A and B are shown apart, each in its own frame.
With several copies, the nearest count.
Chain A
């Protein structure tokens, strides 16, 4: 055990026991996976997006499988701020891992209200602001594709919140660097990217969209090359830390992001394929560091050699 590599990592003001988090919307409120694994081993859990009031979500069908990926149009179904604090947080609080609350609002003000509503709540390590959900009519992606709006949402949340603010970006933009820089300037402590790419699928027999919502968000290994590219772009554009997410299925995928400069990664769709993916990645990173005599995961981050 003496030569166990050190997986601890700092993501701005956040101290994580390892760089492997679960992504919002793919891990529920943690409890769902508790029967299958020791949640405390994770670097952190990002909970399903919380809005001020409960949201029932979109009509079904809400998901459809695509080549090496899936489309979802859940529509940010969630229990709402109040129920989250009362029913979900007490259980999450008991975990010995970072709990990050993903939030969403219909307006700049509402984002602020949700952040304010989380003030003082025990057991929340950070807030992750979703300005990039493609599956809701109002707000969501509309904020995330415009640098000014992104900055306004960020500033509002930073002002209202009493803990670190991570902003999660949409990949559905012409130049991710512009958004990243605007959000950095507005005071974000870190960035997460990417959220899903907008996509669609058609039922050719019935000639209707396969999702009731028509379009949805593409996730899974299919999007990994796009995610990695955007993470790299962001890493080069800002000084705040970047958390990489998109199509990570195993430790090798995670390493691609870490080498490209992400200080942590999130596992999303892979949780559906294998619920213990996060733990497998932690084990894989440990073995990799050992095999290559790397004393700490920190030594790997951002080591990509570009000519």
Chain B
């Protein structure tokens, strides 16, 4: 069930360089949310910026939903200035979340940068016994781990481009490494992050025939499947040209996407 409401900010704190964690009071959304879903937030009561901004739910806690966001432009800048007790128009939970690995097998969760957000929620719901959470970041000061959002039952392996924390390299390297000594093979790979990273992960998974679900980001207007603004090209295997990320996604089976067009 989708809710649209004015939610109170329980907290809004910086957790890494330019990255903030916001708790929004919404028992309704908290109850309905599944990992991989997102909310649309109106960053202020003004006509500029006009459109809502989409953010993954990174955790559900008590009667709060948590979003983890990086300040990249005007909207997120404004968000970062909000204080506890302020209110925001929030709509959600939206979209289709992550599926389950076949017959409860172990999952690999791969994140690139802020792609960590929905995977934290997923990791939390699966628990560290059920998954390996692998994450790649540019550098150590960008690293956001489960602890930053208050999750203690999730473990994370880290790679950084510059080697300042964890393995030097990408999350794809990290995944290859893990796959090389995982037995049995994981039942599913989940991925969220920049397109090149998703491409790399999906390629590895598809090569090994491991089911792979990726979570995509596109520009959105409505978040409800009404405007058709958030289209991404579907692969030939489906009888349609485009998916709408807000409604049929943001989580897709990697094989359902036209990776060449992304």
Contacts and interface: CB of A to CB of B under 8 A. Distances in A.
Answer whether A and B touch in the complex at a CB cut-off of 8 Å. yes
B88 interface: no
A273 B52 contact: yes
A272 B51 contact: yes
Contact of B227 (A26, A56, A59, A221): A26
A176 B246 CA distance: 37
Contacts of A12: none
Contact of A275 (B91, B219, B228, B242): B91
Interface in A39-85: 48, 56-57, 59-65, 67-70, 72, 74, 77
A25 interface: yes
Contacts of A74: 227-229
- The size class of the interface chain B forms with chain A is 20 to 34
Contacts of A63: 219-221, 227, 229-230
Question: B223, B229, B247 — which one has the most chain A CB atoms within 10 A of its CB?
Answer: B229
B4 A275 contact: yes
Please classify the interface of chain A as helix (H, G, I), strand (E, B), loop, or mixed, using the class held by over half of its residues: loop
Nearest to A61: B219
A59 B228 CA distance: 11
Contact of B226 (A33, A67, A220): A33
Interface in A256-275: 269, 271-275
B226 A26 contact: yes
A70 B89 contact: no
B51 A70 contact: yes
A102 B220 CA distance: 23
B50 A70 contact: yes
B1 to A, nearest CB: 6
Nearest to B231: A60
B241 A64 contact: no
B226 A60 contact: no
13 contacts: A28-B222, A28-B226, A32-B225, A56-B240, A61-B218, A62-B230, A63-B219, A64-B219, A72-B229, A74-B229, A77-B228, A272-B52, A275-B4
Nearest to B73: A65
Interface in B240-262: 240-242, 247, 261
A223 to B, nearest CB: 12
Contacts of B89: 274
Interface in B59-106: 89, 91
A35 interface: yes
- The size class of the interface chain A forms with chain B is 35 or more
Contact of B50 (A33, A35, A269): A269
Contacts, number: 104
Contact of A72 (B50, B221, B233): B221
B231 A32 contact: no
Given A60-B231, A63-B219, A272-B221, A249 B226 contact: no
Contacts of A61: 218-219
Contacts of B224: 28, 32-33, 36, 275
B255 to A, nearest CB: 19
A34 B258 CA distance: 31
Contact of A68 (B42, B47, B231): B47
B2 interface: yes
A69 B51 CA distance: 8
B232 interface: yes
Interface in B94-140: none
A19 B51 CA distance: 25
B27 interface: no
A269 B52 CA distance: 12
Nearest to B89: A274
Contacts of A271: 222, 226
Given A26-B226, A62-B229, A74-B228, A274 B47 contact: no
Interface string B200-229: 000000000000000000111111111111
B241 A56 contact: yes
B4 A67 contact: no
B251 to A, nearest CB: 18
Contacts of A111: none
A3 to B, nearest CB: 28
Contact of B4 (A27, A36, A62): A36
Interface in B189-206: none
Contacts of B219: 61-65
A77 B2 contact: no
A276 interface: yes
A56 B243 CA distance: 10
Contacts of B247: 32
A69 B229 CA distance: 14
A33 B51 CA distance: 17
A100 B47 CA distance: 28
A249 B261 CA distance: 34
